[in-house]
Amino acid sequence: MPIEFFKYQGTGNDFVLIDNRLKSFNKKNTKLVAQMCDRKFGIGADGLLLLENHSDIDFTMVYYNSDGNLSSMCGNGGRCITHFAMYLGVIKNEATFEAVDGMHHATIENDKISLGMNDVEKVTVSKNYVFLNTGSPHHVQLVSNVEKFDVFSEGRRIRNETYGKAGANVNFVEQVSHNTFKVRTYERGVEDETLSCGTGVTAVALAMFETGKTVSQSVCLETPGGTLEVQFQKSGNTYKDIKLVGPAVQVFKGVWE
């Protein structure tokens, strides 16, 4: 049965999006998901998102990594699916939806999506890195000259040696100014560097604030795929009102035969 799909990208983090409100997509077919995401033999994407009906709110977001497996929260995916919901007429300029890590609220203004992220209560600061979960687990590490850093090799090593089978996403960071940081991310599930990672830049912003690298609660993150902004408030030991802000673009649509 032909499957209509839409290709989206949010600062270079790209996704296949499918309207699954009629439940026509076989969610157990992980092989199909991986095939659709394959860059040589498929559409090509970092992940696949299903938009589904929800009984009480606007929609449900189901996210698969490009390896075909269901995954943890994807921030850029959340921004893209919000734009997709507006395109489908499910919402106008704001949305409340459920993802694997709970409820999210998002607003749209001129193709720029502001996505509310869940509170973060625990930030673990070690000697050479910071670890925290922003919907997905993230390792955050400062390096010099991040543009020439071997993100693939070192990211894969840390992902496997430090975090084992479950893994974690690994972010390498270079400070540019008092509230601006360059970020490159190795993503588990994709098992490669991606051009941008939404939960990753969120983790970086909080980690840089937690370690005193910035005192700003509005942080600019420059990724290879574009610029994102993370806004937040800190109350006690908890980071609240976290927002991931940036563009989401529909690239093309097609039919998978």
Cα distance between residue 244 and residue 176, in whole Å: 19
The crossing angle, in degrees rounded to 10, of helices 198-210 and 75-88 is 130
Rounded to 10 degrees, the C-alpha dihedral 8/20/101/217 comes to: 30
Q: What angle do CA 118, 140, 44 make, to 5 degrees?
A: 75
Q: Which two tokens stand for residue 142?
A: 């400062």
DSSP state of 165: T
CB atoms near residue 17 (< 10 Å) = 26
Strands 249-256 and 13-19: unpaired
HSE-up (13 A, CA, CB side) for residue 77: 31
Cα distance between residue 238 and residue 121, in whole Å: 4
Cα distance between residue 62 and residue 45, in whole Å: 15
Active site residues: 74, 197
Report which of 138, 142, 137 is spatially closest to residue 181, judged by C-alpha positions: 142
Could you give the maximum distance between any two Cα atoms of the chain, in Å? 54
Give the three-class secondary structure for 217: coil
HSE-up (13 A, CA, CB side) for residue 53: 5
